[in-house]
Amino acid sequence: MRLLIDLFITFAKMGAVTFGGGYAMLPILQREIVENKKWGTDEELADYYAIGQCTPGVIAVNVATFIGRKTAGNIGGIVATLGVVFPSVVIITLLAGVIQAYSSLEWVAHAFAGIRVCVCVLIFNAVIKLFAKAIIDAKTLCIYLVVLACAVFLNVSPVVFVVCSAVAGILLKAGVKP
């Protein structure tokens, strides 16, 4: 029971302070789940993010579900999911009417612009940490560069990138020559 409460509280705290969606939650997840709680590794977190992009729903919710399930089974997945969405439901419910009234104020627009910049920095920091763990040899660097080039120049679903990268990883690590 304590683990379930800890899952709920941990994900509720993350849900309460994460602005900008699932990507913005990555540095907080990395610190809390990997470094503080030891509920997963950087590699697992990267895998959950990749799978979370390929499954329906919000990435942060999907990742919370994966981590909760890994940590405490199906009920852990449900509790972690409820924890991460609870703050948003409460805050949005309370602010729905108020935000419309104040969104035209200049200082509110400037505040949101500042928050967006901050979210970009947080995402970049998380990417740097994950990059160091993911790019472990020339083969993974090759996969990274191909996916990066395709992401920049092609309009392709992240699902395609994840599936193709998985196949490439299997083939390259198995020693299959292209």
pTM: 0.60
* Full DSSP string of 72-98: HHHHHHHHHHHHHHHHHHHHHHHHHHH
**Angstrom distance (rounded) from CA 81 to CA 52:** 13
DSSP label of 104: T
Who contacts 139 (Cβ-Cβ below 8 Å, separation ≥6)?
169, 172, 173
Predicted local distance difference test score (pLDDT) of residue 178: 56
Contact present, 62 and 48 (Cβ < 8 Å): yes
Predicted local distance difference test score (pLDDT) of residue 22: 64
Predicted local distance difference test score (pLDDT) of residue 21: 64
Core vs surface per residue 113-139: b (16+ CB within 10 A) or e: eeeeeebeebbeebeebbeeeeeeeee
| Highest averaged pLDDT of the listed ranges 25-29, 55-59, 65-69 | 65-69
Instruction: Give the mean model confidence (pLDDT) for residues 94-116.
Output: 80
Does pLDDT of 24 surpass 80? Answer: no
Proportion of the chain above pLDDT 90, given as a percent: 33
Amino acid at 75: I
Dihedral sign from CA coordinates of 47, 53, 57, 61: positive
Predicted local distance difference test score (pLDDT) of residue 29: 84
Amino acid at 87: P
Domain boundaries, the chain: 2-134, 135-178
Instruction: Give the mean model confidence (pLDDT) for residues 91-112.
Output: 79
Does pLDDT of 176 surpass 70? Answer: no
10-24, 25-39, 105-119, 126-140: least confidently modelled range: 10-24
Contact present, 18 and 88 (Cβ < 8 Å): no
Predicted local distance difference test score (pLDDT) of residue 80: 96
